[in-house]
Structure 1
């Protein structure tokens, strides 16, 4: 279906963002299982819960617009997830703290992609006058940003410093 206008683009991007979230959940679970820091593992569990809430919100919005959020495949997130697995899960680490730093790096790349996606669809919803959608999408954006900031705090709060030692 060709994209004829901003509303078509909005609906297309909602489905793409839903796909990105759906694809990321098993990788975030794997990152959490590989994390050595208890606090990091808990943050990743919380991140996955946030992703699930985002998917529910996206599905609800799609339902209001009579579209099915499934069926789309986000190639952008596919590439980010390939890199996350390669650099945080498949790489051999001699130091657990270095792996935790890599996990944070890869999670934040996923989060930044989601932040961009939520920000764009929220802006489209505002322009189109879909106020209820925009409010829900703003909430998703705020939660995703909050998770990203928490990961930065973990990195700066000791994980990156511990990774410098190379035990």
Structure 2
């Protein structure tokens, strides 16, 4: 696709975000299986559900603009997923609390990518006069922020202290 307009940028970035979610959903489930802290496992499970909800929203928006949700591969998230596996799953951990701290770190990085993507797409939708799209994307953005804050609370109130 040739990108000539802000709408072209918008659709491209929706597709990129869909790919990012698709990739992060898989590794988030893997991180959940590796986590030992019960609250962390619960939050990662909720994260998978939130990512799936975001993907449903993105799919509807993309198809509503006569585009294919699978039209893009997000190389940025591919790198973050590789890092999450290398550092959160494949690293040699002698302590499960230290691994949980690393899992939270890797989740944060992926969540921040999603926050940036949803924020940019919501701004594009607003500029393009697409209030329904804007509202849907802001809901996804808020959910991403909530997941990020939950991980911070788990880190600060449980995991980091246990890992120290």
TM-score when scaled to structure 1? Answer: 0.97
The answer for unaligned runs of 5 or more in structure 1 is none
1:53 aligns with 2:50: no
Q: Residues of 2 paired with 1:15 and 1:63: CA distance?
A: 10
Secondary structure at 1:4 match in 2: coil
1:125 aligns with 2:125: yes
1:2 Cα offset (Å) = 1.5
User: 1:95-138, CA deviations, whole angstroms, 9 ceiling, x for partnerless residues?
Assistant: 10000000000001000000000000000000000100000000
User: 1:1-45, CA deviations, whole angstroms, 9 ceiling, x for partnerless residues?
Assistant: 221011100000000000000011110010000000011001000
Say how many residue pairs are matched. 164
User: 1:41-94, CA deviations, whole angstroms, 9 ceiling, x for partnerless residues?
Assistant: 010000000000000000010121111111311000000001000000000100
The answer for unaligned runs of 5 or more in structure 2 is none
Secondary structure at 1:66 match in 2: coil
1:138 aligns with 2:144: no
TM-score when scaled to structure 2? Answer: 0.99
Give runs of ≥4 in structure 1 deviating > 4 Å.
Answer: none
**In structure 2, what is the equivalent of residue 86 of structure 1?**
86
